[in-house]
Structure 1
Amino acid sequence: MGYRVAVVGATGNVGREMLNILHERQFPVTEVVALASKRSVGREVSFGDKNLKVKALEDFNFTGTDFALFSAGGSVSAKYAPIAASQGAIVIDNSSHFRMDPDVPLVVPEVNPEAAAGYTRKNIIANPNCSTAQLVVALKPLHDVATIKRVVVSTYQSTSGAGNAAMDELFTQTKGIYVNDAPTPDKFTKQIAFNVIPHIDVFMDDRYTKEEWKMMVETKKIVDSAIKLTATCVRVPTFVGHAESVNIEFENELSADRAREILREAPGIMVVDNPEENGYITPVECVGDYATFISRIRDDATIENGINLWCVSDNLRKGAALNTVQIAELVGREYLKKAA
């Protein structure tokens, strides 16, 4: 036996990755339905060796659907996720809309799988922000050993995090610069080709951006509310893969060597850390991989108990689609057991 799964936003970057990962991980399905807005009806998307015709979300009845995987933006989730949940589907939502709802668990399966049990309150589980997801995978095993006091993180986030049009803008600007076309910003506030932009999402009253705020509050909800975190989130001219420079201060002693040992044994992590052999991972090397890669683990000599590390992951996978499918696997395995 298997599950009936609906993928909402199936024509987008993350929706397509969800379909790929459902197939790659052999998620037990009896039927997969591709949903998007009415303007996409009739388009085809791939699921393994099959092509699925897109159906209209607006007209879809979720009765009989086990999982509804949403990746179509906050406004779509706000309207249709409660409808899907009320019709019996367990919604796993990739937007920011439900993340801080106290009745909706925010889950990264390697970090807080026990939180998934709370899905019964609204039949909805939230997926964290892409930059948060890879960060907490790295933080949790270290926190369990030495208790994290404070985190300072700077992100280097690819254009795919802003969608297809943002990736197209990077491509068009890059190509245009070589033929002396002026790079005109559209999806970004400034030129993205051959540039970096310290601005993701809107600015808030305290001068942090909402992306930076998300990293702070989501890390607290997923790992520990006592952790202090400050972030600077930067868009960089890459297509896929988010990187993060992370400085961590602990309550208790933890050396870089011990941290390296802990991370090597942690779920979802691949440690590649041998500077003499250029042993570190860059965004282009993580694309298409499930792992969160950790490199450049080293002691911070400026504080008593501190380390620095470099964290890289495919944002379309662990930052979005993979984490969504892993949540569905967790719920199916622990609570539904339909496919056992």
Structure 2
Amino acid sequence: MKNYIGGNCTVSLMLMALGGLFQNDLVEWATSMTYQAASGAGAKNMRELISGMGAIHAQVADELADPSSAILDIDRKVSDFLRSEDYPKANFGVPLAGSLIPWIDVDLGNGQSKEEWKGGVETNKILGRSGNPTVIDGLCVRIGAMRCHSQAITLKLKKTCLFPKSKRFWQARTTG
């Protein structure tokens, strides 16, 4: 296994958790689902998320202050504002506060975003498997949180690995 500093967040998280399985050539394929915070897109985007949150609040502040106001009316007003041209979206291009963006980076024209593509390419490069790559696909979603990346991974192993045996592959990459 090679070491690269500052790798893609999807790859870094996956290899920290499962590097031993990859290193021992036990993974036939993997799919990764990431839920990435605004911080992954940079400072301007973090500011835009906060601005969006504030703008949403400003639209319904009076209703929120009145306990007798109907939540469905508040929800409708928020939804209308999210679809309006007044919502701040210069960086993300679409509203993120109160929502999510089901696509990160550019469309490669093959059903993948560049962020999703990098998951497979960078993992195989780090593992030195560019000539015989492990198939890695996934989904990358931007969420309306400031700082929090989450990841879910589904693997197909090349052989059955009972937990006591596979545990050593996991511990080799996650301790010390």
Query: What is the TM-score normalised by the length of structure 2?
Result: 0.74
Percent of counterpart pairs with the same letter?
Answer: 26
Q: Is the 8 A contact 1:160 1:166 kept in 2?
A: yes
Q: Deviations over 1:247-294 (max 9, x none)?
A: 01111112456545542x234x37xxxxxxxxxxxxxxxxxxxx9xxx
Give the aligned partner of residue 150 of structure 1.
Answer: 29
Q: Which amino acid aligns with 1:184?
A: P
Q: Which amino acid aligns with 1:191?
A: P
Q: Is the 8 A contact 2:51 2:88 kept in 1?
A: no
Partner of 1:192, secondary structure, is coil
Give the aligned partner of residue 301 of structure 1.
Answer: none
Flag the structure with more relative contact order, 1 or 2, with Cα contacts below 8 A and sequence separation at least 6: 2
Compared with structure 1, are the counterparts of its residues 175 and 141 closer, same or farther at alpha carbon in structure 2 (3 Å cutoff)? same
Q: Which runs of 5+ in 1 are unaligned?
A: 1-110, 114-124, 271-290, 292-340
Report the alpha carbon displacement of residue 241 of structure 1 after superposing the two structures with TM: 2.7
Partner of 2:141, secondary structure, is strand
Asked if residue 220 in structure 1 is aligned to residue 99 in structure 2, the reply is no
Give the aligned partner of residue 78 of structure 2.
Answer: none
Q: Deviations over 1:1-48 (max 9, x none)?
A: xxxxxxxxxxxxxxxxxxxxxxxxxxxxxxxxxxxxxxxxxxxxxxxx
Q: Deviations over 1:170-204 (max 9, x none)?
A: 11111221121653312113110111111111111
Q: Deviations over 1:135-194 (max 9, x none)?
A: 122232122446111001111011111110111111111122112165331211311011
Give the aligned partner of residue 266 of structure 1.
Answer: 172
Give the aligned partner of residue 63 of structure 2.
Answer: none
Q: Name the structure with the higher strand share.
A: 1
**In structure 2, how many angstroms separate the alpha carbons of the residues matched to 1:161 and 1:172?**
17
Q: Deviations over 1:282-315 (max 9, x none)?
A: xxxxxxxxx9xxxxxxxxxxxxxxxxxxxxxxxx
Report the alpha carbon displacement of residue 112 of structure 1 after superposing the two structures with TM: 2.1
Match of 1:240 among 147, 155, 176: 147
**In structure 1, how many angstroms separate the alpha carbons of the residues matched to 2:24 and 2:36?**
29
Partner of 1:184, secondary structure, is coil
Asked if residue 163 in structure 1 is aligned to residue 42 in structure 2, the reply is yes
Compared with structure 1, are the counterparts of its residues 165 and 140 closer, same or farther at alpha carbon in structure 2 (3 Å cutoff)? same
Compared with structure 1, are the counterparts of its residues 258 and 183 closer, same or farther at alpha carbon in structure 2 (3 Å cutoff)? farther
Report the alpha carbon displacement of residue 228 of structure 1 after superposing the two structures with TM: 0.2
Report the alpha carbon displacement of residue 215 of structure 1 after superposing the two structures with TM: 1.0
Q: Name the structure with the higher helix share.
A: 2
Q: Which runs of 5+ in 2 are unaligned?
A: 60-80
Partner of 2:101, secondary structure, is coil
Give the aligned partner of residue 2 of structure 2.
Answer: 112
Q: Is the 8 A contact 2:52 2:96 kept in 1?
A: yes
**In structure 1, how many angstroms separate the alpha carbons of the residues matched to 2:36 and 2:139?**
11
Give the aligned partner of residue 229 of structure 1.
Answer: 136
Give the aligned partner of residue 102 of structure 2.
Answer: 198
Query: What is the TM-score normalised by the length of structure 1?
Result: 0.40
Q: Which amino acid aligns with 1:239?
A: M
